């Protein structure tokens, strides 16, 4: 069977890499950029680092910053109209997943206007044309959106995230400059770092994993495991390691899929927005990953691959069962070190652990079935090594709410 791999045409890595944006704009003959970046990055001068490169080289651009965390259909649609009115011919996405995902959706719709409702892009959309060319500049080390064919848009009316998968959306150039990540707060760095580690672990055990993707995922796990604490402490070595590690993870999982950690994170993330907050994607992954490992490890093949991960991380253990337990313990310990809660019940509005989180128990239980159904339908579920029933997904989500043992 043929195996497909899709990657950026060009990528730049290392401190100062944003200077190469000028090289790419000139060589590709681009005329005017539509710059997508969120308001906080604009406010705190992060976006300005890239704008200075454009200004210094006399490049025209239009700045679009109507982007918020967990970007909505409205953010995309207003962006499409702004692009049309700006006379621009390419996009520069500066930010984390929110800016990247907004830019991808805008770029797709501009060249495939029949998807202007945005909702029809959910899943694997049958677009005919590549997106408007995107130069992607990440400011967080986690999502790897700069190298993936995926993006996530929130349907605010239904309080749910839509996962969109489309080979036509991959940026033509990725510029992974750790200096662009140095101003990120500790909490965000920790959450996005655990998102990156989840990408690498899920990508390695996915049903579609094979030798080429394994190479990327195992190397990413090695780099992330030794770099994440340093990145949270904002050391140059930690930042540079995480920038590279998360990108390598993206090279793998974008091509072989993820699993139900992400399905659950997608469908719980906005499910309680009417109670004043989202469950940050990276933190959700960090909370759910140990539970999902315990669930998947009932599958012999998955258990053996988790054991390989434990070996790569030099966690010890003699048997497969011991190694899986050590991996789970390591991840829970990492959550403690990074100040990430272990369960939804203790997840505060600020994303930090608290005795009573923002999601009331009765509300969680009332919405549990619908969340489980939506998680089963998520684009990431099909590649999970053990396929859960709706009933099993409900039980797994309960374990993630109460932090109870997965014994099924």
Residue 122 lies inside a defined structural domain of this protein: yes
Across the beta sheet with 10-13, what order do the strands follow? 10-13, 173-176, 134-138, 90-95, 32-37, 60-64
pLDDT of residue 344: 98
Residues 210 and 257 in one domain: yes
CA-to-CA distance for 36 and 55, rounded, in angstroms?
16
Residues 94 and 236 in one domain: no
377, 266 Cβ separation under 8 angstroms:
no
107, 155 Cβ separation under 8 angstroms:
no
CA-to-CA distance for 378 and 79, rounded, in angstroms?
26
Whichever domain contains 45, its CATH number is 3.40.50.1970
What's the DSSP call for residue 388? Answer: P
Give Cα separations from 123 to 118, 171, 246, 251, 299 (angstroms). 11, 19, 23, 20, 26
CA-to-CA distance for 214 and 145, rounded, in angstroms?
19
Residues 150 and 50 in one domain: yes
Whichever domain contains 203, its CATH number is 1.20.1090.10
249, 220 Cβ separation under 8 angstroms:
yes
Residue finishing a domain among 181, 205, 232: 181
Residues 54 and 41 in one domain: yes
Residues 164 and 190 in one domain: no
- Is 153 strand, coil or helix? strand
| Closest by Cα among 109, 102, 110 to 125 | 109
CA-to-CA distance for 310 and 150, rounded, in angstroms?
28
How many domains does the chain fold into? 2
Residue finishing a domain among 181, 204, 229: 181
The DSSP secondary structure of 77-141, one letter per residue, reads HHHHHHHHHHT--EEEEEESHHHHHHHHHHHHHHH-GGGTTSGGGSEE----SPPSPEEEEESSS
| Closest by Cα among 258, 251, 266 to 148 | 251
| Closest by Cα among 138, 106, 160 to 250 | 138
Q: Which domain holds residue 99?
A: 10-181
Residues 303 and 199 in one domain: yes
153, 164 Cβ separation under 8 angstroms:
yes
- pLDDT 10s per residue in the chain (408 long)? 899 999 999 999 999 999 999 999 999 999 999 999 999 999 999 999 999 999 999 999 999 999 988 899 999 999 999 999 999 999 999 999 999 999 999 999 999 999 999 999 999 999 999 999 999 999 999 999 999 999 999 999 988 889 999 999 999 999 999 999 988 888 889 999 999 999 999 999 999 999 999 999 999 999 999 999 999 999 999 999 999 999 999 999 999 999 999 999 999 999 999 999 999 999 999 999 999 999 999 999 999 999 999 999 999 999 999 999 999 999 999 999 999 999 999 999 999 999 999 999 999 999 999 999 999 999 999 999 999 999 999 999 999 999 999 999
Looking up tokens 């923002």 gives 358
- Both tokens assigned to 269: 């993330």
| Closest by Cα among 152, 141, 138, 148 to 170 | 148
**260 CB burial (10 A radius; 0-12, 13-18, 19+):** buried
Helical (H) or strand (E) element with 54 = helix 46-56
397, 263 Cβ separation under 8 angstroms:
no
Residues 116 and 31 in one domain: yes
- Both tokens assigned to 242: 């995480």
pTM of the entire predicted model: 0.95
Residue finishing a domain among 126, 157, 181: 181
| Closest by Cα among 281, 249, 227, 298 to 7 | 249
Instruction: Name the pairing type of β-strands 150-155 and 160-165.
Output: antiparallel
193, 187 Cβ separation under 8 angstroms:
no
Question: Roughly what angle, to the nearest 10 degrees, separates helices 390-402 and 361-377?
Answer: 140
């Amino acid at each position: 069977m043929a195996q497909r791999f899709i990657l950026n045409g060009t990528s730049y890595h290392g401190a100062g890499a944003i200077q190469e944006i000028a090289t790419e704009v000139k060589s590709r003959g681009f005329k005017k950029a539509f710059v997508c970046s969120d308001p906080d990055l604009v406010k705190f001068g992060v976006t300005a680092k890239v704008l200075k490169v454009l200004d210094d080289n006399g490049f025209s651009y239009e700045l679009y910053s109507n982007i918020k965390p967990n970007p909505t259909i409205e953010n995309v649609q207003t962006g499409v109209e702004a692009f049309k009115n700006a006379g621009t011919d390419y996009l520069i996405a500066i930010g984390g997943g929110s800016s990247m995902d907004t830019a991808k959706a805008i770029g797709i719709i501009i060249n495939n206007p029949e998807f202007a409702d945005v909702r029809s892009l959910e899943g694997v959309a049958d677009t005919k044309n590549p997106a408007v060319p995107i130069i992607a500049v990440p400011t967080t080390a986690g999502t790897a959106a700069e190298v993936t064919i995926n993006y996530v848009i929130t349907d605010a009316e239904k309080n749910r995230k839509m996962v969109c998968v489309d080979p036509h959306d991959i940026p033509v150039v990725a510029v992974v400059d750790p200096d662009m990540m140095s101003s990120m707060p500790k909490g965000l760095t920790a959450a996005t770092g655990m998102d990156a580690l989840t990408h690498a672990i899920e990508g390695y055990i996915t049903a579609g994993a094979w030798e080429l993707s394994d190479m990327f995922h195992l190397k990413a796990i090695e780099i992330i495991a030794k770099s994440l604490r340093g990145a949270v402490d904002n050391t140059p070595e930690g930042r540079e390691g995480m920038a590279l590690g998360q990108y390598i993870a993206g090279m793998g999982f974008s091509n072989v899929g993820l699993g139900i950690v992400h399905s659950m994170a997608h469908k719980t993330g906005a499910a309680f927005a009417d109670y004043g907050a989202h469950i940050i994607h990276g933190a959700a992954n960090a909370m759910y990953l140990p539970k999902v490992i315990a669930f998947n490890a009932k599958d012999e093949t998955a258990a053996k691959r988790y054991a390989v991960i434990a070996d790569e991380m030099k966690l010890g253990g003699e048997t497969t069962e011991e190694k899986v337990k050590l991996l789970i313990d390591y991840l829970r310990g990492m959550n403690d070190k990074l100040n990430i809660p272990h369960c939804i019940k203790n997840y505060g509005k600020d994303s930090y652990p608290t005795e009573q989180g923002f999601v009331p128990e009765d509300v969680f239980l009332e919405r549990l079935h619908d969340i489980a159904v939506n998680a089963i339908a998520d684009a990431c579920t099909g590649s999970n090594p053990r396929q859960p029933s709706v009933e099993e997904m409900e039980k797994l989500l309960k374990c993630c709410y109460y932090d109870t043992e997965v014994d099924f």
